[in-house]
Structure 1
């Protein structure tokens, strides 16, 4: 992977330590305030403190502490330089948080190129993001695809996002860190048999559509078409 710029490193260092703990399945739900069970051993009383203000940690059980690179090297078993690669891999769309940009014509948006799109989701960060918004994996895979894309001007980087297809063949792209689209258009979905065209439902965005409670079970009054608007 190409070397990271100082600005890219700065953005990667902002990745919350709690997100790292969750990524490694370290029981972040069993916390007490900013105290967590140590990710380095089994214990009955939380002794691992996270300071969200400066994104540092301290293990009262061992007297060790540090920043996000320190904990990544421990949990991922990698070098400090490899820790940045790990963070970029986990947060493939991290660059969207940065104010860093490459020179381009005023008012001209960077081109987004779709590298691949698949119906089965494997990216844990995207699955976790959807679940945090109340969307099950079953629902996600029924209406969305896992998209890998690149951005013109961002050298050697590929990004992951939840993709929702629109009527022009483009995608609305969403993840925890990005909100993009390849083209502006509506998404029209056929929800019931052709012989029933009695109603239409309009949603502002595709997550509103996915959040419809009836999606996760057999709908007793589904509309013929669903128009999904995004902003």
Structure 2
């Protein structure tokens, strides 16, 4: 009979193995450490370090770290009990059974269907983050794909190169090719957002401003320099980037370089991002 993992024994569970269960694989590895693309956001350069000798992780992009339980709780947004259940191999706690983050740049996926968002699990996930399905369907799609002969589904935001940003309750990743999403309405004002849920949150919180602006969703903070070619086209540029070290660094970079770029993160000063504000307001109403 298999022995159940508890809080004490879980700390010895290999973080590298846990990340593999979550669908994340190292970009480089040696006997002492392994480097991954962060499981907490989309990025193109590995900033997530795992010490194999200490069995601890550290995310250089966010400046946080911890043990394997901390990792699973953060990636899956779940309780310690649910994290232990996941490590034990029991997926019944999760509404997206058997859906792992199986996407790797090296393996790719085969998209088989793109449609309006209608799956109950996806709608439930959107609602939990304060997003209505009507708003989500304005900018996103329900994306079904094949991976190793198995079907999976997610919310997808298409980027300018035809790749997809992919989100559901279990994972956060993207298909190749990776790029930003540029929505042009022929306006003289540009709104720069960091990710899919920032866009959807902005559409609810600032719908008038959204409809009178052009929108650029980075999909990764690493695209900051790539999108500079658009900035000179606008009279004013508003930045709504995350209140983490990477977001603040990118904001400062653009503001130092362009006089017409304005930091708007003060409107969510005590929150991580726009969706954090919306989710908090949504929880208060429940």
Q: TM-score, normalised by structure 1?
A: 0.50
Residue among 208, 220, 224 paired with 2:213: 224
Contact preservation (8 Å) 1:202, 1:226 = yes
Residue among 115, 127, 133 paired with 2:112: 115
Residue among 132, 138, 141 paired with 2:134: 138
Report the CA distance between 1:199 and its aligned residue.
0.5
Report the CA distance between 1:185 and its aligned residue.
0.8
1:146 counterpart SS class = strand
Measured at CA, do residues 139 and 216 of structure 1 come closer, stay the same or move farther in structure 2, by a change above 3 Å? farther
Cα separation, 1, equivalents of 2:132 and 2:193: 19
1:180-195 aligned at under 5 Å gives the runs 180-182=173-175, 183-191=177-185, 194=186
Report the CA distance between 1:217 and its aligned residue.
7.5
1:203 maps to 193
Cα separation, 2, equivalents of 1:117 and 1:221: 25
Cα separation, 1, equivalents of 2:200 and 2:110: 25
Residue among 150, 169, 174 paired with 1:176: 169
Cα separation, 1, equivalents of 2:114 and 2:165: 12
Cα separation, 1, equivalents of 2:210 and 2:155: 27
Cα separation, 2, equivalents of 1:178 and 1:220: 30
2:100 counterpart SS class = helix
2:96 counterpart of 1:91: yes
Cα separation, 2, equivalents of 1:108 and 1:222: 34
Measured at CA, do residues 162 and 221 of structure 1 come closer, stay the same or move farther in structure 2, by a change above 3 Å? closer
Structure 1 unaligned spans of 5+: 1-6, 12-50, 56-67, 73-86, 102-106
Cα separation, 2, equivalents of 1:208 and 1:198: 21
Cα separation, 1, equivalents of 2:83 and 2:182: 43
2:172 counterpart of 1:167: no
Contact preservation (8 Å) 1:93, 1:178 = no
Q: TM-score, normalised by structure 2?
A: 0.41
Report the CA distance between 1:124 and its aligned residue.
1.4
Measured at CA, do residues 52 and 93 of structure 1 come closer, stay the same or move farther in structure 2, by a change above 3 Å? closer
2:74 maps to none
Structure 2 unaligned spans of 5+: 1-16, 22-80, 221-286
Q: CA RMSD in A?
A: 3.6
Normalized per residue, the structure richer in helix is 2
Contact preservation (8 Å) 1:200, 1:223 = no
Measured at CA, do residues 188 and 114 of structure 1 come closer, stay the same or move farther in structure 2, by a change above 3 Å? same
Larger radius of gyration: 1
